[in-house]
Amino acid sequence: MNWNSNLINNLHWSDTIINKEGKEKVAAKIAEKVKDGDVLGVGSGSTVFMALFAIARRVKEEGLNVKAIPTSVEISMALTNLGIPMTSLYEHRPDWLFDGADEVDPNRSLIKGRGGAMFKEKLLISSSPVNFIIVDDSKLVDKLGSKFPVPIEVFPQALLHAEKELQKLGVRELILRPAKGKDGPVITEAGNVILDAWFDDIPADTELRIKSITGVIESGLFINYNVEIMVA
């Protein structure tokens, strides 16, 4: 028996999609890379969401047999809506992965996590041998941290300890990310909170130094990862 639910069947992106045209172009480009039998790692965000629609069209028209490992509830729901079968890291390693980003610097280092899914996104990127970052050109920056803060997922009871340690790393401003549609802070899918950290400078060791703070689960800094950037 199937659920007859409009909540999944009429799923739309929850907000206005900024730079929709550029995102649509790069979404179409990534969909062309899908091959029969692929296990795809699927990042999160509106660009990824649009890419899934383009992939679903190919799956339907060409009868492709693919499986997807999602990085968030939002993407799990989109996969369900589109009829793309899901699997997990217990069963499969991705053949390749695609994901969006908030900032990309000239060395292909990234800031991710506007959507709060950076923990699972980093886990998937680290598990996948080939990774494509799909962005419109508004995401290209000369210096990381110019437009976006670095999101840091923190175990709630470790918040004040993390604040103290992050100040030692030269954080200019630290904001406990507030929720929209709920009172209080954003609670991540793993039950943690997010600190958005603005830095004047992000030296190469910053990712490791943030990660070494007890209570930090993960950050949205991706320095020197094995990624190919696809720009619309």
* Active-site entry in 24, 74, 103, 121: 121
- Stretch 131-170: interaction string toward ligand 5RP, x if CB under 6 A: ----------------------------------------
CB 48 within 8 A of CB 100: yes
Q: Which is nearer to ligand 5RP, 50 or 84 (CB)?
A: 50
Taking the complex as a whole, the smallest distance from the CB of residue 38 to ligand 5RP amounts, in Å, to 20
Taking the complex as a whole, the smallest distance from the CB of residue 220 to ligand 5RP amounts, in Å, to 6
Q: Which is nearer to ligand 5RP, 46 or 109 (CB)?
A: 46
Q: Which is nearer to ligand 5RP, 47 or 81 (CB)?
A: 47
Pairing of strands 171-176, 193-199: antiparallel
CB 75 within 8 A of CB 49: yes
Of 34-63, which residues contact ligand 5RP (CB under 6 A)?
A: 43-47
Taking the complex as a whole, the smallest distance from the CB of residue 82 to ligand 5RP amounts, in Å, to 17
- CA-based nearest residue to 219, from 144, 77, 113: 113
Nearest residue to ligand 5RP, scored by beta-carbon proximity: 45
CB 159 within 8 A of CB 133: no
- E strand or H helix at 74, and its extent? helix 73-82
Q: Which is nearer to ligand 5RP, 119 or 199 (CB)?
A: 119
Q: Tell me if residue 21 is catalytic.
A: no
Instruction: Determine the number of helices (DSSP H) and then strands (DSSP E) in the chain.
Output: 7, 12
What gap in Å lies between CA 232 and CA 138, rounded to an integer? 10
CB 121 within 8 A of CB 89: no
Q: Which is nearer to ligand 5RP, 116 or 149 (CB)?
A: 116
Size of the site for ligand 5RP (CB under 6 A): 17
Q: With contacts defined by CB under 6 A, name the span among 96-104, 172-180, 192-200, 203-211 that binds ligand 5RP.
A: 96-104
Which value, to the nearest 10 degrees, does the dihedral of the CA atoms of residues 62, 74, 189, 34 take? 20
DSSP-derived letter for residue 181 is S
CB 68 within 8 A of CB 87: yes
Contact call for residue 114 and ligand 5RP (CB under 6 A): yes
The footprint of ligand 5RP (CB under 6 A) covers 43-47, 99-102, 112-118, 121
